[in-house]
């Protein structure tokens, strides 16, 4: 079982990202869950989305998880959310920030004994430069592919094209570029 927790603001696409990842993974025959807690949350409110991935049907419906990956797609939430909550000794963190990794870690005490498990990228800047607006969800997926090795980049891009098929070609292309850049730029 692989468990992933997204830290996001409502409107940044964490739910879409989690569902997109779920669709890609399900196509390989694995079982998935993609869920989120929102409802009363307004655009901009802090929220969590979640993924579970396993080889056998997933029947655990508890919201709480011990994440293998924590994906922070809003830079501010790295400071204000409890991003290390219920983590494990091997939990990997991927955080969007404009800061170099060392500077970010210096400002977040909870990460200071986890330096080798913290990875950073500027998913906000990447999405602005490729998609044309702040939409850090797809770049985060590119970074996750690099850090987790879940799928090779080419295979993941092909799968994501199908997930995004309802969008105009221009938007699909921009997302492919965002994913590729994030894959290459995450440190």
- The footprint of another protein (CB under 8 A) covers 18-19, 22-23, 26-27, 31-40, 58-64
- Spatial separation of the C-alpha atoms in residues 54 and 182, rounded to whole Å: 25
Strands 92-96 and 118-121, by their bridges, are parallel
Comparing CA positions, the residue from 141, 146, 134, 149 lying closest to residue 179 is: 141
Q: Which is nearer to another protein, 4 or 36 (CB)?
A: 36
Rg from Cα positions in the chain: 15
- Give the shortest CB-67-to-another protein separation in angstroms: 15
Q: Which is nearer to another protein, 53 or 120 (CB)?
A: 53
Q: Which is nearer to another protein, 31 or 185 (CB)?
A: 31
Q: Which is nearer to another protein, 32 or 150 (CB)?
A: 32
- Spatial separation of the C-alpha atoms in residues 20 and 71, rounded to whole Å: 15
Chain-centre distance for alpha carbon 131 = 17
Q: Which is nearer to another protein, 86 or 184 (CB)?
A: 86
- Give the shortest CB-30-to-another protein separation in angstroms: 9
- Give the shortest CB-125-to-another protein separation in angstroms: 29
- Give the shortest CB-98-to-another protein separation in angstroms: 32
In this structure, what are the phi and psi dihedrals at residue 78, rounded to the nearest 5 degrees? Answer: -60, -30
- Give the shortest CB-134-to-another protein separation in angstroms: 24
Comparing CA positions, the residue from 132, 92, 131 lying closest to residue 114 is: 92
């Amino acid at each position: 079982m692989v468990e992933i927790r997204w830290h996001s603001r409502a409107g940044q696409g964490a739910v879409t990202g989690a569902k997109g990842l779920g669709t890609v993974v399900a196509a390989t025959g694995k079982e998935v869950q993609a869920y989120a807690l929102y409802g009363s949350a307004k655009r901009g409110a802090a929220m969590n989305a979640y993924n579970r991935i396993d080889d056998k049907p997933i029947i655990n419906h508890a919201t709480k998880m011990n994440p293998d990956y924590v994906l922070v797609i809003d830079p501010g939430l790295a400071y204000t959310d409890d991003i290390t909550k219920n983590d494990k000794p091997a939990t990997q963190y991927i955080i969007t920030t404009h800061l170099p990794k060392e500077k970010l870690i210096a400002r977040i005490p909870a990460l200071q004994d986890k330096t080798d498990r913290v990875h950073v990228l500027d998913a906000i800047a990447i999405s602005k430069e490729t998609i044309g607006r702040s939409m850090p969800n797809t770049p985060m997926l590119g970074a996750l592919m690099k850090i987790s090795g879940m799928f090779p980049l080419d295979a993941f891009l092909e799968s994501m094209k199908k997930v995004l098929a309802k969008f105009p070609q221009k938007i699909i292309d921009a997302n492919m570029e965002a994913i590729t850049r994030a894959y290459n730029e995450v440190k």
